[in-house]
Amino acid sequence: MEIISSWVGNIPDLAVPFALAALGLIVTERAGVLALGAEGLMLVGALFGVGGYLLFDSTGIALLLAMLAASGVSILFAVMVLVLRINQVIAGLALVFFCQGLTALLGILFGWASHPVSGFEAWTLWPLSELPIVGRLFIQNPVVYLTPLIFFAVAIYLNHSMSGLKLRAVGENPQAADAAGIPVLTYRFAAILAGAALIGLAGAYISVLSTKMWIEDMTGGRGWIAVALVIFARWSPWRAFAGAILFGSIEALIPQLAAAGVRLPQYFVFMTPYVVTLAVMIWVALPKRDQNKPDQKNQPDALGEPFIREERR
Amino acid sequence: MKTVMKTFAAGMLGVYALVNVTQPTYADDEGLTIQGPPKIAMLYISPRNDGGWTQAFDEARQKLEVQLGQKIQFVENVPESASAIRPVVERLIQRGSNIIIGTAFGYSDTFKDLAAKYPHVAFLNGSGTTNSKNLLSFYGRTYESQYLCGMAAGAVSKTGKLGFVAANPFGQVNWTINAYELGAQQINPKATVTVIYTGAWNDPIKERAATMALIDQGADVIGQHVDSPTPQIVAQERGVYGTGYHRDMREFAPKATVCSSVWVWDRFLAVELKKIMAGHWKPLPQGALLSMQQGGTDIACCSSAVPPADVTKIMAMRTELMEGKKQIYEGPMSDGKGVVQIPVGAVLPDDKLWKMEWFVKGVITQQ
């Protein structure tokens, strides 16, 4: 019982970065822009989160600064793919490498590396925190409680608001959207910036609220897992939320089993998150779904395609 | 005609001088004598203020500059690939450096090639694995300092359950784990060490999850053989103790960290560099695995949480190690299953240390 309770209590810390990064990717990709740069933008968020805290001594400002910084860097990506119409896969990969180098350099220049920050105090939601087994789910930092609300807001926006419908239209059929008078590039530009802000928040969650310091390349490939999560979720926010909890649960379970002295082959344990990623991809690829039903659709139709007005497809 | 002859003679002299310079000056029995005034340069794998491994080397560099009375050049962020290492080293040599010090396992092969190409330059490499007539790899017997940290951990633990966050199940990680447990048993014979391997040297997210899990399972002191101070920071948050690695981690967790295993490379390098400068340098063919007596590692101990009587015991043991009177891996020693690993009267040889895959009684791992 004790082990399950502490396992459950550690899940949010590991699941929230996956969830927020995947949500940011969904916002961008629903507008038809393939965003592979999550790993890099998470690093930018992580660095500027810690930097914001060290400069302003406020966790709230730190998180905001992280979101702004990630959005700022993503302008570069937006210009590359929207204005210059560079291949989105290549631009996304280039963004990751650029951000890895940039954050490593700035971390040293500004002296933000290896400086502990204090983050938020945990909020105890009494009396839920007294529940058996799941009680520790309700002793978490405020961003954990905020995450489902952010998901709720984004899901409502995408599915039930006029602006959200237009954003999806841009991602499905930009020519038709353009003919209907929707400013395609403006929507895509906004989607890239908004998505980057969420991904930056995911990075700042790791550095400011979870590990509480900046270390070069600290996201350790979690941005890539978020990219896989979005495919698994078939671009639906709530499925991404579930997927993030699944991955967070696995990451939280591994050390709990080790601490309890359960014997498992070490290298097999190290590879489980990646095996699960692969399994999920295969599971998504296998069934032949009816692509005309919105719920069964695999991806936005115009994903990865640059928009050129008056070009015939 | 005379002038022609003169020029020719001067030319011949020049060629002769050139041949003389490029000819390796070591012979099997003579050792290496570097040419010209000694000029030292260091290659760092990461930034000099990384808070751990490289920062310890940079602190050593500053002490060495004072002791040797000369500036030591350094190049930061040299990745572990030949295409990155070669140009840096060759430029340093062109500019007159004749003693090159590396700081990474991944420099091993390239340093071996460079040492063959530049036989008149002395090469040293921290945590390297290759050696030759002018290349010496060195590393510390970290089990000695971690043994002392284990004693401190045993002294401050109330439950007798210690946790240990480790990187990968390699020999040089496993030897610190066993030593940690053996040290803890000196103070509390019933102490156990539960180990979690994160599979990465520097992944603060996994280190945090591992430390949380250990504390959840009742561990009240957290030891570590990973690069980031995360385990110490988590220990402080959760109100338990910890022991650090690389440098004095009280910098990050002043309340939690009771002892740290630290690098003191200057103690070894000062001696070795003077040997090189004196000429006829003969590096050990098997590399230098440094005991505390030879420099390399030491402890930053102890915080006020450790009872004074135990501090005395730890410091007495430190003195024994410093004087070379104590061997940690000395027989008879058996593993947790009762298999004899070191016979009576024997000391575990270095090749078996590097391949250590067994654990003493009291170590709980997934292995």
The CATH code of the domain that includes A257 is: 1.10.3470
Are B49 and A114 within 8 A, CB to CB? yes
A125 is a domain residue: no
pLDDT of residue A270: 81
For B164-194, what is each residue's pLDDT tens digit?
999 988 899 999 999 999 999 999 999 999 9
State CA A35 to chain mean position distance: 11
Tell whether the model's pLDDT for residue B19 goes beyond 60. Answer: no
pLDDT of residue A292: 63
Tell whether the model's pLDDT for residue B87 goes beyond 50. Answer: yes
Over chain B, what is the mean pLDDT?
A: 90
CA distance A17 to B310: 43
Please compute the mean of the pLDDT values over residues B341-357 and round it to a whole number: 93
| Per-residue pLDDT band at B15 (split at 50, 70, 90) | very low
Percent of chain B with pLDDT over 90: 83
pLDDT of residue B22: 45
* Residue of chain A minimizing CA distance to B216: A6
A126 is a domain residue: no
Q: A250 CB near a chain B CB, below 8 Å?
A: no
pLDDT of residue A288: 62
| Per-residue pLDDT band at A313 (split at 50, 70, 90) | low
pLDDT of residue B202: 84
A80 is a domain residue: yes
Over chain A, what is the mean pLDDT?
A: 91
End-to-end CA distance of chain A: 59
The class of domain B25-140 in CATH terms is alpha beta
State the nearest Cα–Cα gap between B325 and chain A, in angstroms. Answer: 35
* Residue of chain A minimizing CA distance to B218: A259
pLDDT of residue A312: 58
* Residue of chain B minimizing CA distance to A8: B213
Tell whether the model's pLDDT for residue B26 goes beyond 80. Answer: no
For A246-272, what is each residue's pLDDT tens digit?
999 998 998 998 888 888 887 888 888
Question: Which of B50, B203, B365 is nearest residue A114 as measured by Cβ atoms?
Answer: B50
A262 neighbourhood in chain B, CB within 8 Å: 366
Domain count, chain A: 1
A9 is a domain residue: yes
3-class SS at A11? helix
pLDDT of residue A234: 87
Q: B270 CB near a chain A CB, below 8 Å?
A: no
pLDDT of residue B199: 87
Q: B143 CB near a chain A CB, below 8 Å?
A: no
Tell whether the model's pLDDT for residue A2 goes beyond 60. Answer: yes
Q: Does A281 or B117 have the greater pLDDT score?
A: B117
| Per-residue pLDDT band at A274 (split at 50, 70, 90) | confident
State the nearest Cα–Cα gap between A173 and chain B, in angstroms. Answer: 40
Looking at 1.10.1050.10, 3.40.50.2300, 3.40.50.1820, 3.40.50.720, the CATH number of the domain B142-263+297-325 comes to: 3.40.50.2300
A16 neighbourhood in chain B, CB within 8 Å: none
**Residue extents of the structural domains in chain B:** 25-140, 142-263+297-325
Q: B229 CB near a chain A CB, below 8 Å?
A: yes
Instruction: Give one DSSP letter per residue of B205-218, joined into a string.
Output: HHHHHHHHHHHHTT
Q: Which of A96, A97, A77 has its CA nearest to residue A87?
A: A77
Please identify among residues 103-132 of chain B the ones whose CB lies closer than 8 Å to any CB of chain A. Answer: none
Tell whether the model's pLDDT for residue B60 goes beyond 90. Answer: yes
| Per-residue pLDDT band at B21 (split at 50, 70, 90) | very low
Instruction: Give one DSSP letter per residue of B311-357, joined into a string.
Output: HHHHHHHHHHHHTT---SSBSSEE-TTS-EEE-TT-B--HHHHHT--
For A69-106, what is each residue's pLDDT tens digit?
999 999 999 999 999 999 999 999 999 999 999 999 99
State the nearest Cα–Cα gap between A269 and chain B, in angstroms. Answer: 9
State CA A16 to chain mean position distance: 9
CA distance A86 to B79: 30
Are B205 and A222 within 8 A, CB to CB? yes
| B246 and B263 Cβ atoms separated by less than 8 Å | yes
Residues spanned by the domain of A15: 2-119+141-285
Tell whether the model's pLDDT for residue B216 goes beyond 90. Answer: yes
pLDDT of residue A36: 95
Name which of A277-286, B265-274, B279-288 the model is least confident about: A277-286
pLDDT of residue B51: 79
Residues contacting residue B6 through CB under 8 Å, at least 6 positions apart = none
Q: What is the pTM of this model?
A: 0.87
A45 is a domain residue: yes
Q: B210 CB near a chain A CB, below 8 Å?
A: yes
A254 neighbourhood in chain B, CB within 8 Å: 209
State the nearest Cα–Cα gap between A140 and chain B, in angstroms. Answer: 14
Q: Give me B264's structure tokens.
A: 């003191």
A10 neighbourhood in chain B, CB within 8 Å: 209, 212-213, 216
A296 is a domain residue: no
pLDDT of residue B13: 43
pLDDT of residue B257: 97
Please compute the mean of the pLDDT values over residues B214-230 and round it to a whole number: 94
A215 neighbourhood in chain B, CB within 8 Å: 202, 204, 228
pLDDT of residue B149: 98
Please compute the mean of the pLDDT values over residues B65-86 and round it to a whole number: 94
A291 is a domain residue: no
pLDDT of residue B48: 85
Are A252 and B209 within 8 A, CB to CB? yes
CA distance B114 to A39: 36
Are B214 and A259 within 8 A, CB to CB? yes
pLDDT of residue B20: 44
A300 is a domain residue: no
Q: A60 CB near a chain B CB, below 8 Å?
A: no
| Per-residue pLDDT band at B5 (split at 50, 70, 90) | very low
Give me the total of CB pairs closer than 8 Å, taking one residue from chain A and one from chain B: 117
Eight-class DSSP state of B330 = B
Q: B336 CB near a chain A CB, below 8 Å?
A: no
A108 neighbourhood in chain B, CB within 8 Å: 47, 49
Are B51 and A251 within 8 A, CB to CB? no
For A106-152, what is each residue's pLDDT tens digit?
998 898 987 889 888 889 998 999 898 898 899 999 999 999 999 99
Question: CA triplet A298, A302, A304: central angle to 5 degrees?
Answer: 95
For B300-317, what is each residue's pLDDT tens digit?
999 999 999 999 999 999
pLDDT of residue A299: 84
Q: A118 CB near a chain B CB, below 8 Å?
A: no
Eight-class DSSP state of A180 = T
Tell whether the model's pLDDT for residue B340 goes beyond 60. Answer: yes
- Tell me, yes or no, if the two domains B25-140 and B142-263+297-325 fold the same way: yes
